[in-house]
Chains A and B, each alone.
Chain A
Amino acid sequence: MPEQSLLTDDVRALIGSETPAGAVQVTPRAWRHAVEVYTGRVPTETPANGEPVSGYAIAALETENGGTSRIPDLMPNSLLIANQWEFERPLRMGETLTASSRIVDITERFGGRFGYSIDFRTESVYRDATGAVVARSGITMTQYDVREAERAARRAEDAG
């Protein structure tokens, strides 16, 4: 465990920081790739422009958007501990959305399965041409030190 909190003022100042908005598009190629990944099937038909598509496409939008907000490496290891997709309406084939990402929160934890760890919660928001939110994707990454996590696990085992 570090001798003092790693959540310095500089780190806390990252909360709320947002990436510049960029355009992303629900393309047939991106949709097909996402469907292949998540269903293991090659789609035989592609929805026409304007038709609703399965939410898997948001994974392709995340890539097109350049991923989530950049977070600093404060600890040697990192792992995803939670994530979510939310839709205000189904995505539509061919539509162009504006995407931006931000760091929603940064918290630290003392103890637990990872020992001392820092959680970064980030969110990407996708808006249509009117500015209405269409979808959100969020992730929570934890940063930790695997050696300390192993010590924490041994302590938990010893405690019964």
Chain B
Amino acid sequence: MVIRYCALQWTFPVFFYDPEAARAMGMPGTIIPGPLKVGLLYRAVDEWLGGAGWVRQVRAAHRRPDPTNDPIDIAGRVARVYEEDGKRRADLELAIINQEGQPSVRGFAVVEFH
């Protein structure tokens, strides 16, 4: 997934695929690209919607690196449901949780229901 992402963006920072280079930069090893993680948040919200709406916004604040091949969990909760511009929308609080149970990413999304 990481290499496919690098090909999509046509950018190949060494800390995504070279463990020694990543450690030299103070990272635990090769890491999951941040932009890939915002896409994973988008995917989680999109799948949660299940066609009942669409994702207007997704944001990610990266707190900790996630080593490649380490499983991650995505958690979320509906923070607010409201009407805006005649549309029913919801704000979601999101997080990517690493294997230590720590949030590596704090996220936020806005969805609009059909």
Contacts and interface: CB of A to CB of B under 8 A. Distances in A.
A87 B56 contact: yes
A2 to B, nearest CB: 19
Interface string B1-32: 10011011111000000000000111000000
Name the interface size band of chain A.
Answer: 20 to 34
A156 interface: no
Nearest to B63: A81
Interface in A90-140: 90, 139
Contacts, number: 84
25 contacts: A33-B7, A37-B1, A37-B36, A37-B39, A38-B36, A38-B39, A40-B1, A55-B42, A56-B43, A59-B35, A63-B8, A67-B9, A77-B26, A80-B33, A81-B34, A83-B62, A84-B57, A84-B58, A86-B57, A87-B54, A87-B56, A87-B57, A90-B54, A146-B24, A146-B26
Contacts of B38: 83-85
Contacts of B26: 77, 146, 149-150
Nearest to A82: B61
Nearest to A84: B59
A39 B8 contact: no
Contact of A55 (B7, B55, B60): B55
Interface of A: 33-34, 36-40, 52, 54-56, 59-60, 62-63, 67, 77, 79-88, 90, 139, 146, 149-150
B62 A59 contact: no
Interface in B49-88: 54-62
B62 A82 contact: yes
Interface of B: 1, 4-5, 7-11, 24-26, 33-36, 38-40, 42-43, 46, 54-62
A37 B8 contact: yes
Given A77-B25, A80-B35, A83-B35, A60 B56 contact: no
Contacts of B4: 33, 36-37
- Of B5, B8, B36, B56, chain A has the most CB atoms within 10 Å of the CB of B8
A54 B46 contact: yes
Contacts of B56: 86-88
A81 B10 contact: no
A82 B60 contact: yes
A34 B43 CA distance: 11
